């Protein structure tokens, strides 16, 4: 259909160019001769584009945005901010809101969190050997997404109970303002986030919030880095889960009964898992029984059991951090 439209438009333009000429047999022969010699031939792409841009303001906006992102990418490449092997290194800012020395997580814990993120996203930790043979072919391996700690901001506060309402992200509401969220992954650390009858151990914004004042991840201090006080969750992998959301991954069960996570290589499962399920675990969705991937970072299993992303999950994350993606601004400095 597009080709037909393009051909018709091209014919119209050619006929307009020739409108002052007599349509004599001689001219017709001359035109054919020009065509054979490729004289008078031109590409119509810009003609078609200019028509679109003059008629559709939204298309004009998309074009301007695209050019802006392209220029940004070229500038980043010139400055060496895109690594030679195609990987990106995301600069990370920690904003720690502490009430005592226990929840003022140490530099060592923060550094261990960066190390856990890098190992998780490169699939270089020891638990890779525990990925079932069945799932090894879809293991993401090295996602080429890396993390580097840039700064730890610390603020003493008397407020120990927070809600997942972003107040910790603004100085005016007792928190710490984000460091430019278009360029940095901000991770806020708070003491406790009670929610309904339980609590929220962490939460992240998805890429539709890219660059907004509240963009980033919030964690309860216990879940930051390695060596925290909760034995089942002291490996820094809840933060890996939250950063997965930040990079546009959904929960593996699709947040519904037999839901959809928009990832083809994660088997559909009924709902979330807790604890340490026994492999293989079969679940039936739509009448089809499948061995489910409860060891995926985007499930809820204990951290000892969370140790893989899939290749298709990585595709979504790559789309997010690519030069044309919503988080293209996250690069090493």
- Give the Cβ contact number of residue 314 at 10 Å: 24
Q: Is 75 a catalytic residue?
A: no
Is residue 318 within 8 Å of 301, Cβ to Cβ?
Answer: no
**Quick check: bond before 103 cis, omega within 30?**
no
**Torsion angles phi and psi, residue 91, rounded to 5:** -75, 135
Which is catalytic among the residues 55, 134, 226, 242? 242
How long is the chain?
A: 333
Pick the closest to residue 159 from 187, 190, 186, 198 (CA basis).
Answer: 190
Instruction: Give the span between the Cα atoms of 249 and 230, in whole angstroms.
Output: 25
Characterize 219-249 residue by residue with b for buried, 16 or more Cβ atoms within 10 angstroms of its Cβ, and e for exposed. Answer: bbbbbbbbebeeeebbbbbbbbbbbbbbbbb
**Where would I find the H helices in the chain?**
2-17, 25-36, 45-55, 57-78, 107-122, 237-246, 311-321
Instruction: Give the span between the Cα atoms of 317 and 144, in whole angstroms.
Output: 10
List Cα–Cα distances, 68 to 74, 212, 247, 279, in angstroms. 10, 18, 21, 48
Which residues belong to the active site? 242
């Amino acid at each position: 259909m597009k080709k037909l439209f393009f051909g018709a438009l091209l014919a119209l333009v050619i006929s307009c160019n020739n409108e002052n000429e007599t349509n004599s047999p001689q001219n017709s022969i001359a035109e054919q001769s020009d065509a054979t010699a490729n004289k008078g031939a031109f590409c119509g792409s810009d003609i078609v584009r200019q028509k679109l841009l003059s008629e559709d303001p939204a298309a004009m906006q998309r074009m301007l945005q695209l050019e802006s992102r392209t220029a940004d990418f070229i500038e980043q490449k010139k400055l060496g901010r895109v690594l030679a092997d195609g990987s990106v290194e995301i600069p990370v800012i920690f904003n720690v809101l502490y009430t005592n020395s226990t929840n003022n997580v140490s530099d060592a814990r923060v550094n261990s969190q960066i190390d856990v993120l890098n190992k998780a996203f490169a699939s270089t930790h020891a638990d890779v050997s525990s990925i079932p043979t069945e799932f090894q072919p879809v293991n993401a391996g090295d996602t080429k997404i890396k993390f580097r700690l840039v700064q730890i901001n610390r603020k003493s506060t008397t407020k120990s109970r927070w809600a997942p309402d972003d107040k910790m992200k603004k100085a005016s509401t007792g928190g710490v303002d984000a460091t430019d969220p278009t360029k940095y992954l901000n991770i806020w650390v708070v003491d406790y986030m009670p929610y309904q009858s339980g609590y929220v151990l962490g939460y992240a914004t998805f890429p539709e919030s890219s660059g907004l004042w509240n963009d980033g991840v919030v964690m309860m201090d216990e879940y930051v880095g390695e060596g925290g006080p909760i034995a089942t969750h002291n490996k820094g992998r809840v933060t890996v889960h939250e950063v997965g959301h930040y990079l546009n991954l959904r929960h593996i069960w699709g947040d519904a009964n037999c839901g959809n996570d928009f990832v083809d290589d994660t088997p559909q499962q009924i709902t979330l898992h807790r604890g340490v399920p026994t492999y293989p675990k079969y679940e039936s969705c739509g009448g089809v029984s499948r061995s489910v991937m409860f060891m995926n970072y985007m499930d809820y299993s204990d951290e000892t059991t969370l140790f893989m992303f899939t290749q298709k999950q990585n595709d979504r994350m790559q789309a997010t951090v690519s030069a044309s993606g919503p988080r293209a601004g996250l690069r090493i400095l």
